């Protein structure tokens, strides 16, 4: 068999090209998105005012609960499944 002279439509092979997704640095942390919505501001605007390390740490899974001081929030690491214990 010889080489085909039929033209190949690039759109037909588009499924084989990887789609660029946002890197983990580009994605916003959920607490930052909630705070932006509550304040009526854009998440990008808030992110410029918060240190990058703080934003990175917000992406780890934690349990949020009201803090000891009124108006504050306490963050605890979720320890996962524990026998006989129910998370709240």
- For residue 12, the model assigns a pLDDT of 80
Q: Is 20 exposed, middle or buried (0-12, 13-18, 19+ CB in 10 A)?
A: exposed
Confidence of residue 1 (pLDDT cuts 50, 70, 90): low
- pTM of the entire structure? 0.46
pLDDT in tens, 30-66: 888 888 999 999 989 988 998 888 888 787 777 778 8
Domain locations in the chain as residue ranges? 28-68
pLDDT in tens, 60-86: 777 778 889 888 888 887 766 667 766
Q: Average pLDDT of 15-35?
A: 74
């Amino acid at each position: 068999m010889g080489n085909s002279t039929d033209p190949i439509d690039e759109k037909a092979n588009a499924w084989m090209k990887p789609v660029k997704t946002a890197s983990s640095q580009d994605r916003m942390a959920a607490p930052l998105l909630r705070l932006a919505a509550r304040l009526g501001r854009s998440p990008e605007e808030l992110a410029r005012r918060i240190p990058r390390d703080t934003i990175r740490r917000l992406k780890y899974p934690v349990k949020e609960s009201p803090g000891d001081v009124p108006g504050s929030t306490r963050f605890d690491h979720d320890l996962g499944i524990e026998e006989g214990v129910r998370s709240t």
